Amino acid sequence: MAAPVLVVFSVVCIITIAYYLIVLLKNVNNFLKKSSVLNLIPHEKPHWLLGHILDYPGPNDAGLKFQREMVAVYPYISLYWLGYVPLVMVSHPSTVKAILKTSEPKGNVYNLIRPWVGDGLLVSKGDKWARNRRLLTPAFHFDILRPYINIKNKAADVFVSNMKRFADRNEYFEVFAEVSMFTLDVILKCAFSYDIDCQNLKEKHPYVVAVTALADLSLDRFFKPWFHSDFIYFLTPSGREFKKHCNFVHKVAEEIIENRQKALVTSSVEQDIVKSKRCMDFLDILLTAKDENGIGLSQMEIRDEVDTFLFEGHDTTASAISWTMFSLAEHPEHQAAVQREVDDLMAGKKTENIEMEDLVNLPYLTMCIKESMRLHTPVPFIQRELAQEMIIEGQKIPSGVVISVPVYNVHHNPLIWDNSTEFRPDRFSPENVEKRDPFAFIPFSAGSRNCIGQNFAMHEIKLILARLFYKYTLELDPNHKVEKKQALVMRTMTGIRMKPVPRVPDTAE
């Protein structure tokens, strides 16, 4: 009996080996065909095994300098080999437009954060993305956004009060730490009517710590294609740390949802709003939204969207505010111009609150914010994965290939932006904006998959900066070097240190 069993086992082994060999040869053949087409795209000579990985200095100032040099050489389209994984880079409005005007799904870097944000608007695709985008769009209607201005002013009261403590002690503070607390406070209260008094905590909030770690770990994993497999990655110390932080942010989201659902056990959303004297928020939309078939979001879909908005609603906005504060502290003449504009706005007002109608009367501040977002690019890159073959700039790109839109490169493309490392708010004067392709400046992405919350974010950024510069002049710490750290959002290696100096009373009181 042993001999027949051995023969059968041998035959099974041979068939199995043959099958996987055929699959391997087929994949190699497909790769060679695809790479022969892709290699027609302009690119630097790659390493035979690592591609262009060794060319990139890292997600730091040296890496950003490298990106500016590369976009000067390849201003429209280029190819980057991440080992054997091809990335097609588009960095000019004409090539960026070609991809962002489509609704192609997000690329592989977003799959790396899927265990964190789930299948929310940021990473979902196809019919699910289109359905959920329709369901959630009402959450950002002007009538919904209007009452949030009061919540943002109250959060700004706490922020400005904290600045007074630093001013009274003539003390420098770390910008990202303070601003992240403010933006977390705003998103929790506006989107979820959830108050944990995070701005008054004496240490960094664990949610902010977790989100920062998740962003850093995700980017580190992206540049190590051998860790793109979930099975391999989650066996590593980094993978276990990633999972630990994921569990924490999920716990926060689930707690927010559970608290609201408990409040709704004995009442409807409308009754709860009246009873709690709050405005309708994002979570109300999530809980009540129904599609054309009368079907709402599942419990998991609700958690995914909460996780997505907690991340996107505070971290990216904190980066934009922090870098604008840095830009204006670095350029006192522009800071003074912003203060004059805010003084004019505040003249005759009975309170220091910024109303919704005031936001359109801050044109110079808006120009400074946009120039800072161009220069420091809070969201440094976007990705799309082609569902079908495309022709971009005369180059054929096969389906399945990931298109990377390095937003930082777009914002520093020398064909569009002269002396791109200079801070010049006049680039965003109405006449200059009118002359420029709208896809040259894409801090909130563009096209059908643009940021659904961009108006919410811009209102928040303008409000807190107007409130801050009305009371204080910001001065950078001359003994602290600011170095960029590029992750899912633009941060710093060791923070930004500055101090608030009270302004002359007759102009700020």
Instruction: Look at 58-72, 381-395, 411-425 and tell me which has the smallest mean pLDDT.
Output: 381-395
Which whole number is the average pLDDT over 118-133? Answer: 88
Confidence grade of residue 104 (pLDDT, cut at 50, 70, 90): confident
**Higher-scoring residue by pLDDT: 479, 143:** 479
Burial class (CB in 10 A: 0-12, 13-18, 19+), 215: buried
- Residue pair 52/70 in contact (Cβ under 8 Å)? The answer is no
Domain that holds residue 141: 39-508
- Encode pLDDT of 255-294 as tens digits: 888 888 888 777 777 777 777 767 788 888 888 889 888 9
Is residue 433 one of the residues assigned to a domain? yes
Residue 74 one-letter amino acid: Y
Give the pLDDT score at 507.
Answer: 47
Confidence grade of residue 509 (pLDDT, cut at 50, 70, 90): very low
Give the pLDDT score at 393.
Answer: 94
pLDDT above 60 for 202: no
- Encode pLDDT of 414-427 as tens digits: 999 999 999 999 99
Is residue 30 one of the residues assigned to a domain? no
Is residue 32 one of the residues assigned to a domain? no
Cβ-count burial 395-406 (b if 16+ within 10 Å, e if not):
bebbeebbbbbb
Is residue 3 one of the residues assigned to a domain? no
User: What pTM value is reported for the model?
Assistant: 0.91
The average confidence (pLDDT) of the chain is: 91
- Encode pLDDT of 170-201 as tens digits: 999 999 999 999 999 999 999 888 888 888 87
Give the pLDDT score at 193.
Answer: 86
Give the pLDDT score at 126.
Answer: 85
The DSSP 8-state label assigned to residue 140 in this structure reads G
Which whole number is the average pLDDT over 26-35? Answer: 80
The rounded distance, in Å, linking the Cα atoms of 427 and 432 is 6
Is residue 443 one of the residues assigned to a domain? yes
pLDDT above 80 for 505: no
Is residue 6 one of the residues assigned to a domain? no
User: For strand 484-486 and strand 402-405, is the pairing parallel, antiparallel, or unpaired?
Assistant: unpaired
Overall number of domains in the chain: 1
- Encode pLDDT of 316-330 as tens digits: 999 999 999 999 999
The rounded distance, in Å, linking the Cα atoms of 451 and 366 is 18
Residues 6+ apart with CB under 8 A from 369: 320, 324, 458, 461, 462, 465
Is residue 466 one of the residues assigned to a domain? yes
Is residue 199 one of the residues assigned to a domain? yes
Give the pLDDT score at 369.
Answer: 98
Residue 150 one-letter amino acid: N
Specify the CATH number for the domain of residue 424. Answer: 1.10.630.10
Instruction: Look at 67-76, 197-206, 215-224 and tell me which has the smallest mean pLDDT.
Output: 197-206
- Highest-pLDDT range among 9-13, 358-362, 397-401: 358-362
